Amino acid sequence: MNLVIDIGNSLVKLAVFEDTKIIYKKAIQLDFILKHVDLLRKEFKTINKTIISSVGRLKKADITYLKKNFDLVELNNTAKLPFKNCYETPNTLGMDRVALVSAAIQQYPGSNVLIIDAGTCITYDFVSDKNEYLGGAISPGIRMRYQSLNNLTAKLPLLETEEPKNIIGNSTNNSIHSGVVFGVLKEIEGVIDAYRLNYKDLTVILTGGDTNFLSKQLKSSIFANSNFLLEGLNFLLQFNSKE
């Protein structure tokens, strides 16, 4: 069994894989990581391999513990990749984006794939049918947009995410919901359309924390998979494990 640890901007996601199947998944606060990993060791006694992304946020003692108890892969820019990285600044490419592209390579080989990760930020990543990662885009996520309207203005309130009832907001709150949510939806639709002008056989994957909220509102044909990043990390663990 494999243990995948994804340290995100807000939470740490842990997943236990049996081959390519997720059999356990949980999101926790960073401070509780070792306590929870220890519980997983007792529950899933055959876990022997582990991968961590965003290693820089972990304490040295945490990494030491993981190295002592598992065959550990620390995902960084020296890792072996299953694709050709054509990014002009490969050392600045986030490991979350590397994992997403790796999942696309594994699950959609020989395809043009656009991966949209709707989380704290919305990232767009494109891998060609020639197994080449070409890059993409980064924009503010839904919560970041709500927070920016509150932080950078004097009077606009901070609202919880809500699906707008109408594109015409008839109050300040409704106008904010319309601006944020329809703004994100139209951005995503526009990006997909722009890619399809050049790649008509495009496969589009939507993932990230806002997957369920957005997928039911998008008109474009997409595959929604909230576990895509975890699956990519599991594939990278297998790809980088010692023979």
Give the model's pLDDT for residue 243: 52
Residue 96 annotated as binding? yes
Q: How many domains does the chain have?
A: 2
Q: Are residues 181 and 104 in the same domain?
A: yes
CA atoms within 13 A on the CB side of 48: 5
3-state secondary structure the chain: CEEEEEECCCCEEEEEEECCEEEEEEEECHHHHHHHHHHHHHHCCCCCEEEEECHHHCCHHHHHHHHHHCEEEECCCCCCCCCEECCCCHHHCCHHHHHHHHHHHHHCCCCEEEEEEECCEEEEEEECCCCEEEEEEEEECHHHHHHHHHHCCCCCCCCCCCCCCCCCCCCHHHHHHHHHHHHHHHHHHHHHHHHHHHCCCEEEEEECCCHHHHHCCCCCCCEECCCHHHHHHHHHHHHHCCC
Does the annotation place 95 within a ligand binding site?
A: yes
Q: Are residues 102 and 196 in the same domain?
A: yes
Residue with tokens 């979350």: 96
Are 98 and 50 in contact by the 8 Å Cβ rule? The answer is: no
Co-location of 216 and 119 in the same domain: yes
Question: Quick check: is 240 in a domain?
Answer: no
pLDDT of residue 40: 94
Q: Is residue 239 part of a domain?
A: no
Question: Which distant-in-sequence residues (6+ apart) come within 8 Å of 170 by Cβ?
Answer: none
Listed residues 20, 50, 74: the one ending a domain = 74
Specify the pTM: 0.91
Please tell me whether 6 is known to bind a ligand: yes
What is the domain range of residue 94?
Answer: 84-233
Q: What pLDDT is recorded for position 56? A: 64
Q: For residue 38, tell me if it sits in a domain.
A: yes
Say if residue 148 carries a ligand binding annotation. Answer: no
Q: Is residue 241 part of a domain?
A: no
Whether residue 102 sits in one domain with residue 31 = no
CATH number of the domain to which 205 belongs: 3.30.420.40
Report pLDDT digits (tens) over 172-188: 999 999 999 999 999 99
Q: Is 7 annotated as a binding residue?
A: yes
**Residues 149 and 219 occupy one common structural domain:** yes
Q: Is 21 annotated in some ligand binding site?
A: no
User: Is 183 within any annotated ligand binding site?
Assistant: no
Domain assignment present for residue 18? The answer is yes
| Residue 104 sits in the same domain as residue 180 | yes
User: Does residue 95 sit in the same domain as residue 192?
Assistant: yes
Residues of the chain with pLDDT under 70: 55-56, 242-243
- Domain end call among 17, 40, 74: 74
Instruction: Report if residue 57 sits inside a domain.
Output: yes
Domain end, chosen from 30, 52, 74, is at 74
| Amino acid 220: pLDDT | 87
For 76-122, the pLDDT digits (tens) are: 888 999 999 999 999 999 999 999 999 999 999 999 999 999 999 99
Q: Domain for residue 243, yes or no?
A: no
Q: Is the same domain home to 56 and 94?
A: no
Annotated catalytic residues are 96
Residue 169 marked ligand-binding: no
One domain for residues 206 and 96: yes
| Per-residue pLDDT at 234 | 97
- 202 and 126, same domain (yes or no): yes
Domain match, 222 and 130 both = yes
Asked whether residue 10 is marked as a ligand-binding residue, the answer is yes
Q: Are residues 106 and 54 in the same domain?
A: no
Residue 79 lies in a domain: no
